Chains A and B, each alone.
Chain A
Amino acid sequence: MEKDKLVIELDGTRYAFDTADVASIVESERIPVLPGSTRFVSGIISLRGEPVTVVDLGKVFNPDRIGEEGPRRIVVVRGKNRILGFDIGSANVSFLWEEELKGSAQEGKPAVSAGGEGRPYRAVDWGALFDETTRILSTEGTGA
């Protein structure tokens, strides 16, 4: 069953997170860097005293994308023992509610679903991204 979605429109693509996973949307002037951060890892922020590793949502799906400078928004998602921030720059954020989504999901294509307005969105598997971030920060940083 489709759940309410937070949708981010970035470089013409709509990315979606389950709203139940979204812990906060944080505004930040700059993101302190993570030592040896690489690829799509942007840096680290804190949410209510808890450190949150931030990845660049655009770079996750387009490694050549040039990141934005200046104030930005970070979508923080949380699951069991996991927390991760997605730097979305100044991208627009909207919602798709369960009622709009009913019947619009395309079976067999879990990553890309049709939204309520008929426009497709890419459901972000942030758990897999969390694992990938853990892997690259363990092997690719300056310590490699």
Chain B
Amino acid sequence: MDTSKYKALYLQEADEHLSGIEKGLLGLEKGEDNPSPVENLFRHYHSIKGMSASMGYENISRLSHAQEDLLDRVRSKRLKLSSAMLTALFKCTDALKELIKRVEEDKPLTYDVDPLIGEIKGLIEGRAPAPQNVPAPAAELKLSQTMKVDVKIFDGLLATAGDLFMTLSSFKTLTQGNRSIAVKDSLHTLGRSINALYDNIISARMLPIKDLTEGLPRVVRDISSDTGKTVDLKVEGAEISVDRAILENLASPLVHMIRNAVDHGIEPPGKRAEANKPSVGTITINAYIKKNRVIIEVSDDGGGIDREKVIARAIGMGVPAERIRAMSDEDVLMLVCTPGLSVKEEVTEISGRGVGMDVVKSAVEAFGGGLRIESEKGLGTKVIMELPRTSSIVKALLVTAGNELFLLPASRIEQVLEAKNAELAGGTFKYGGRDIPLISLDKALGIKENSAKDVYTIVIVEDGVKAESAVNIENSAAIKVDDFKDEIDAYIKPLLPPISKLWGVSGITVMADGRPVFLLDVRQIISRALKRVSL
């Protein structure tokens, strides 16, 4: 395992533990017993031992283990702490400091810790070992090279960078007609600096998906043993990093999906044997990057979703049968994300993925992502989540509908065209030799229309959640707007109550002039348009 990327974190934590040890030993020497210094010391040594073993620093791990051993006996009152023991612990701590310093300086850990371990063992066994001379490290006061910073500070920094982006966009618009080289140079430099600032803040907020998936083997283990199944979890692409806010939001949904996959997807061993499947079921989490967005797929090789049972349950909940008949297979599968459909026991027994899928979908959509499900009866199920890697700055096109401004994410835009009003009579628009749904943005959002114009702007958009093999145009739509303006880097804020579940939008920005502008949820708008066309 490549541990180099965790070294900074190791050093930071080791420093904290060493400082705790020193404080604890000094306290013990003074006879302080509040709050239980032996217990605290034991925890510090135990942490250093574990961290060092994970990083492969054997000397450090062995030495802290010996000290932990001694303290364990003191803690359990099998040994009485003596001044000789304290002296030995101080010496060993100096040696730990020296070793950790060598880690920091990338020097080999050739320090011989055996004599010190021997001294500790001697004290444990009641022998009087020859005290070892350890050169005490030079007294120095140093500050850590890494800092722990409250997440809120990064949120504040990001918000400030977002405001700078919006102000810069405004300056660019205001100075469009200005021919001064000096103004353009200054704007360019300012833009570069803001970009660098933003990139630095974002990189500090990015966390590998691994941080999220590390706890999952335990979840799989627990549910597997409860259900009598044997399940193997594979994680691919765990090194891909994503904004902390997005990962945080995915934690519970991911556990939901894994739990459902083990509990309802993977069959019991007997059933798997009948189906000529390996007795060990497999759940795979596969993460990869596509067009600067992260795709996370959670798949299992279980029994797949039983569509008939999902349909029966949906009808039982009041979804009209004729509406279900008109649905595509993909839409039928998405019924498992209907709130309430999954909470009943009947659904958890239909080898489908019911529990909490509405929560999963909401969590993905909260950050402007999309979710779809693929499932083959008898072969398994795959949930595909597509998310932005960062939650804030989005390249977007400003469009007008009625007297209102909206943002369309540039990543969803295929083309911007002009069309005569006369060509826009029906519900579809001819594009790439096919008829795609035509959506009048003002009507879709319930906005007062402007009087009719001769020419409108048509923005061809695609929903971006289609499978690799699918033809994009099948999930495209033409959005009719009054006009389009600039493409800007917009700082998108999440939608909070009371607008957290507003239809058709996925975020909001506040322009430099204070005007709030919504980022349109293209996927949601297209989904409704496609349903309308198919009815």
What residues make up the interface of A, taking CB atoms closer than 8 Å to B?
30, 32-38, 44-46, 49-51, 53, 81-82, 84, 130, 133-134, 137-138, 141-144
The 4 closest A-B pairs by CB, nearest first: A143-B503, A134-B498, A35-B445, A138-B501
- Docked-complex contact A137 and B404, CB < 8 angstroms: no
- Docked-complex contact A35 and B497, CB < 8 angstroms: no
- Docked-complex contact A141 and B502, CB < 8 angstroms: yes
- Docked-complex contact B504 and A36, CB < 8 angstroms: yes
Q: How far is the CB of B503 from chain A (nearest CB, A)?
A: 2
Is B447 in the interface zone, CB < 8 Å from A? yes
Which of B163, B445, B498, B514 interacts with A137 by CB under 8 Å? B498
- Docked-complex contact B516 and A32, CB < 8 angstroms: yes
Which residues in B have their C-beta under 8 angstroms from that of A38? 446
- Docked-complex contact A130 and B498, CB < 8 angstroms: yes
- Docked-complex contact B508 and A36, CB < 8 angstroms: no
Which residues in A have their C-beta under 8 angstroms from that of B496? 51, 81
- Docked-complex contact A46 and B515, CB < 8 angstroms: yes
Which residues in B have their C-beta under 8 angstroms from that of A141? 446, 502-504
- Docked-complex contact B503 and A35, CB < 8 angstroms: yes
- Docked-complex contact B501 and A49, CB < 8 angstroms: no
Given A142-B444, A142-B504, answer yes or no on A32-B404 (Cβ-Cβ < 8 Å): yes
- Docked-complex contact B516 and A142, CB < 8 angstroms: no
Q: How far is the CB of A87 from chain B (nearest CB, A)?
A: 15
- Per the bound structure, the CA–CA distance linking A51 and B510 in Å amounts to 7
Which of A36, A49, A50, A134 interacts with B445 by CB under 8 Å? A36
- Docked-complex contact B515 and A82, CB < 8 angstroms: no
- Docked-complex contact A142 and B498, CB < 8 angstroms: no
Which of A33, A81, A130, A143 interacts with B404 by CB under 8 Å? A33
Which residues in B have their C-beta under 8 angstroms from that of A142? 444-446, 503-504
Which residues in A have their C-beta under 8 angstroms from that of B504? 35-36, 141-143
Within 8 A of A (CB), among B429-452: 444-448
- Per the bound structure, the CA–CA distance linking A49 and B162 in Å amounts to 10
Q: How far is the CB of B532 from chain A (nearest CB, A)?
A: 12
Is B500 in the interface zone, CB < 8 Å from A? yes
- Per the bound structure, the CA–CA distance linking A133 and B497 in Å amounts to 9
Q: Which residue of A lies closest to B445 (CB)?
A: A35
Q: Return the CB mask of B494-534 against A: 1 if under 8 Å, else 0.
A: 00111111111100101000111110000010000000000
Q: How far is the CB of B399 from chain A (nearest CB, A)?
A: 13
- Per the bound structure, the CA–CA distance linking A143 and B447 in Å amounts to 14
Q: How far is the CB of B70 from chain A (nearest CB, A)?
A: 50
- Docked-complex contact B508 and A51, CB < 8 angstroms: yes
Is B493 in the interface zone, CB < 8 Å from A? yes
- Per the bound structure, the CA–CA distance linking A121 and B517 in Å amounts to 36
Q: How far is the CB of A15 from chain B (nearest CB, A)?
A: 19
Contacts A35-B504, A51-B516 known; list 17 others, CB within 8 Å: A33-B404, A35-B446, A35-B447, A35-B503, A36-B445, A36-B446, A44-B508, A51-B496, A51-B499, A51-B510, A53-B498, A53-B499, A134-B497, A137-B499, A138-B500, A143-B504, A144-B503
Given A33-B404, A35-B446, answer yes or no on A130-B515 (Cβ-Cβ < 8 Å): no
Which residues in A have their C-beta under 8 angstroms from that of B159? 49
23 contacts between A and B (CB under 8 A): A33-B447, A34-B502, A35-B518, A38-B446, A44-B499, A46-B514, A51-B493, A51-B508, A81-B496, A130-B497, A130-B498, A134-B498, A137-B501, A137-B502, A138-B501, A138-B502, A141-B446, A141-B502, A142-B445, A142-B504, A143-B503, A143-B504, A143-B524
- Docked-complex contact B447 and A44, CB < 8 angstroms: no
- Per the bound structure, the CA–CA distance linking A71 and B380 in Å amounts to 59
Q: Which residue of B lies closest to A84 (CB)?
A: B498
- Docked-complex contact A32 and B515, CB < 8 angstroms: yes
Given A35-B518, A142-B504, answer yes or no on A133-B498 (Cβ-Cβ < 8 Å): yes
- Per the bound structure, the CA–CA distance linking A144 and B501 in Å amounts to 11
- Per the bound structure, the CA–CA distance linking A138 and B339 in Å amounts to 13
Q: How far is the CB of A125 from chain B (nearest CB, A)?
A: 15
Which residues in B have their C-beta under 8 angstroms from that of A84? 498
Which residues in B have their C-beta under 8 angstroms from that of A34? 499, 502
Which residues in B have their C-beta under 8 angstroms from that of A35? 445-447, 502-505, 518
- Per the bound structure, the CA–CA distance linking A49 and B166 in Å amounts to 11
Which residues in B have their C-beta under 8 angstroms from that of A143? 501-504, 524
- Per the bound structure, the CA–CA distance linking A44 and B493 in Å amounts to 14
Which residues in A have their C-beta under 8 angstroms from that of B510? 46, 49-51
